[in-house]
Amino acid sequence: MCRFGPAGNSPAFYKSGGKSSLEVPQWLYNLGLSAYEYQCGRGVKTGEETAKLIGINAEKYGIALSIHAPYYINLCTPEKDKLQKSKNHLLKSMQLAKWMKADLVVFHPGSVGSLDRKDAFKNAARALEDLLINEVPKWGLDGIKISPETMGRKSQFGSLDEVIELCKIFNLVPTIDFAHIHALGQGLLKTKDDFNRIFEKVESNLGYDVLKNLHIHFSQIEFTASGEKRHWSMREEGFGPDFSLLAPLLIEKDLEATIICESADRQVEDALVYKSIYDHLKN
Ligand SMILES: [Zn+2]
């Protein structure tokens, strides 16, 4: 079975009277959802005690937890102190994942800026090598999974190929953001086959096990010539990609993927729609 859930605490949570992230696992369980991506986009500010309580509640209600690391991580930067700050953001997110017993930490690998893409790749690879070999053991964070996300703008580092290559080298699992892939490819995902090609690429490079347990981001997205403009929800018409093209593949390939919905302000509502499309095909 695939899991579905929201990115962060949606407006629906607060509208229903929710106050603290501690309550989110039970709230999601009552709605029939089973995944929750905890957002640290603007920095890791959660303390140990809160983190552990969220983890306990998630376990109690069968919610798979992931963490989204701060947006300003840039492993491609040639500037030493910016790079060290980026590594620290990632390490703090991993520390949080350890406290919460989260499955993985999703991160945006970086920005290409004025660099040549090949140099951006080399910098990111060097940074990850140092992080994983030297810093992770120092922080006592061995075994915490980090997951580079496929990005939606040309100026960002993290095309599908770049993410897969990093995962291959460092034995990581990718986060496949279909909205970003759609935006970067100027509306690439139009048919079931278009989605299938992404899955085939993941499987042939990283193996079926990685595909089976894939971490997925999904939402509708608006794009321009340079890629992602903004995320939308299913309520706004005219934006892809279409979840109903992906759903049959999840079943045919027997995936136990986690699908995190990033719809603008309607993460929970749309996660429930995705789930109902999936459940309907499954039964
Ligand atoms: Zn992201």
Res 240: pLDDT: 81
- pLDDT tens digit string along 195-222? 999 999 999 999 999 999 999 999 998 8
Q: What are 214's two structure tokens? A: 């894939």
The whole-angstrom separation of Cα 6 and Cα 28 is: 9
Q: What's the 109 CA to ligand 1 centre distance in angstroms? A: 10
- pLDDT tens digit string along 150-195? 999 999 999 999 999 999 999 999 999 999 999 999 999 999 999 9
CB 175 within 8 A of CB 167: no
The whole-angstrom separation of Cα 76 and Cα 150 is: 15
Give the pairing type, strands 145-148 and 215-218. unpaired
Q: What are the two backbone dihedrals, phi and then psi, of residue 143, each rounded to the nearest 5 degrees?
A: 90, -10
Q: What's the 180 CA to ligand 1 centre distance in angstroms? A: 9
Q: What's the 158 CA to ligand 1 centre distance in angstroms? A: 11
Q: What's the 92 CA to ligand 1 centre distance in angstroms? A: 17
The whole-angstrom separation of Cα 196 and Cα 250 is: 10
CB 159 within 8 A of CB 184: yes
- pLDDT tens digit string along 43-62? 999 999 999 999 999 999 99
Measured in whole angstroms, the distance separating CA 132 from the mean position of its chain's CA atoms is 20
Res 237: pLDDT: 82
DSSP 3-state of 24: helix
Q: What are the two backbone dihedrals, phi and then psi, of residue 38, each rounded to the nearest 5 degrees?
A: -80, 125
DSSP state of 221: E
The whole-angstrom separation of Cα 86 and Cα 82 is: 6
CB 241 within 8 A of CB 178: yes
Is pLDDT above 90 for 235?
Answer: no
Q: What's the 279 CA to ligand 1 centre distance in angstroms? A: 26
Query: What is the band of 234 on the pLDDT scale with cuts at 50, 70, 90?
Result: confident
Q: What's the 124 CA to ligand 1 centre distance in angstroms? A: 17
Query: What is the band of 118 on the pLDDT scale with cuts at 50, 70, 90?
Result: very high
Measured in whole angstroms, the distance separating CA 231 from the mean position of its chain's CA atoms is 14
pTM (2 decimals)? Answer: 0.96
Q: What's the 39 CA to ligand 1 centre distance in angstroms? A: 9
Q: What's the 283 CA to ligand 1 centre distance in angstroms? A: 32
Measured in whole angstroms, the distance separating CA 8 from the mean position of its chain's CA atoms is 11
Q: What's the 41 CA to ligand 1 centre distance in angstroms? A: 8
CB 66 within 8 A of CB 215: yes
Q: What's the 4 CA to ligand 1 centre distance in angstroms? A: 16
Q: What's the 177 CA to ligand 1 centre distance in angstroms? A: 8
Query: What is the band of 129 on the pLDDT scale with cuts at 50, 70, 90?
Result: very high
Q: What's the 149 CA to ligand 1 centre distance in angstroms? A: 6
Q: Where are the domains of the chain?
A: 3-282
According to CATH, the superfamily of the domain at 3-282 is Divalent-metal-dependent TIM barrel enzymes (3.20.20.150)
Of the CA atoms within 13 Å of residue 209, those in its CB half-sphere come to 3
